[in-house]
Amino acid sequence: AAEALFRDHARETGTALDNLTADARLVDRVERQIAGAIGTASARVMVESVAQEEPLSLGDVLEIIDEASQVRIYARELEEATVELRAANEKLKSLDQLKDDFMSSVTHELRTPLTSIRALTELMLDTPDIQPHERKEFLAIILSESERLSRLVNQVLDLAKIESGMAEWHNTDVDLKALIVAALRATAELFRERGAEVVLDLPDQVPLLLADPDRLTQVLVNLLSNAAKFVPEGRGRVQVALREQGSELVVTVCDNGPGVAPQDQAGVFDKFRQGGQAGNRPQGTGLGLPISRQIIANLGGRIWLDSQPGRGACFGFALPKGGADGR
């Protein structure tokens, strides 16, 4: 930068480069150039601090230009740091809001079944002559709500254990096709209630993989349950596929629900979020997908979402194939 400035000044003044001196015009030119980077006032202060009421030499001019370059670098670094700090601050604000939403959701999920259990229990206590069929109905509701509470507490504790590294893993040879069939049996009632059709695309045989069967079943049940929530009632369709792809086994669970809004897709596996699909967000804590992500990551795999609003959602995960003996 200094060489170019000296060369331009020598050409404009008709002076040989070897005979160039730090005259007033050159100093003014330098001051104007660095003012564009560090401001007019700062440029004047910098020139005066170097000059100290003495005529400037070319060495002094070089010192000014070098200092201005350093100031420009520091200013750029400061600007970048400010942008990063601002982004981090916004992220923290967003996380605080997500935590608030999560606590509100968990509180609601706890309060709702507790309210039902208490109300029905008080009703049975205050009504000694209650009809047997009513008592049976109330007890069934109490049982259902208590199971709902248990699931919520278990999910919160489970996620905390996995994230802290305290969860126990019992990896063994796993037949992924058999686990899919078992998970479908476990969620069959959900699909019947929604009137949804489940279409299977499973190969006759697949290689074994090394995984914790209970944890992997948990992922499958989470994805199937999530699909059952969002398919249109009476005309829902869920396709479950398993295939080999290179060194991996890939599972996809695709539904014909409303899909996930673009702005929600990046955080759909984050805790504190409810991964509701566009225009339809059932109540829940939003812990199923975060737990699934943690499990798949711990098994050495990857999990993803592919969705377009109005065209359903397709959740998938891939795990490295090969059993304990490498088969």
Q: Which of 24-33, 169-178, 228-237, 305-314 has the lowest mean pLDDT?
A: 24-33
**Per-residue pLDDT averaged across 218-229, rounded?**
93
Does 226 or 25 have the greater pLDDT score? Answer: 226
pLDDT tens, residue by residue, 175-187: 999 999 999 999 9
What's the rounded Cα separation, in Å, for the pair 154 and 160?
10
Sign of CA dihedral 110, 112, 117, 119: positive
For 319, phi then psi, to 5°, come to -130, 145
pLDDT classification of 201: cutoffs 50, 70, 90 = very high
Task: Check residue 18 and report its DSSP letter.
Answer: G
pLDDT at 59: 64
Separation CA 106–CA 103 (nearest Å): 5
- Label residue 279 by pLDDT band (50, 70, 90): very low
**pLDDT value of residue 278:** 45
Rounded Cα gap, residues 172 and 157, in angstroms:
24
pLDDT at 66 (0 to 100): 67
Q: What is the pTM of this model?
A: 0.59
Query: So what's the pLDDT on residue 91?
Result: 74
- Which comes out higher in pLDDT, residue 145 or 13? 145
User: Token pair for residue 21?
Assistant: 């001196």
Query: Locate tokens 């997500």: which residue?
Result: 98
**Would you state the pLDDT for residue 212?**
95
Cβ contacts of residue 320 below 8 Å, gap of 6+?
Answer: 209, 210, 247, 248, 249, 300, 301
Helix axes 58-126, 2-13, angle to 10 degrees: 140
Q: What pLDDT score does 253 carry? A: 97
Domains of the chain: 1-167 (1.10.287.130), 172-320 (3.30.565.10)
Main-chain phi, psi angles of 34, to 5 degrees: -75, -20
Which tokens hold the place of 222? 């989470």
- Helix or strand or coil: residue 257? coil
* Tokens standing for residue 8: 């331009």
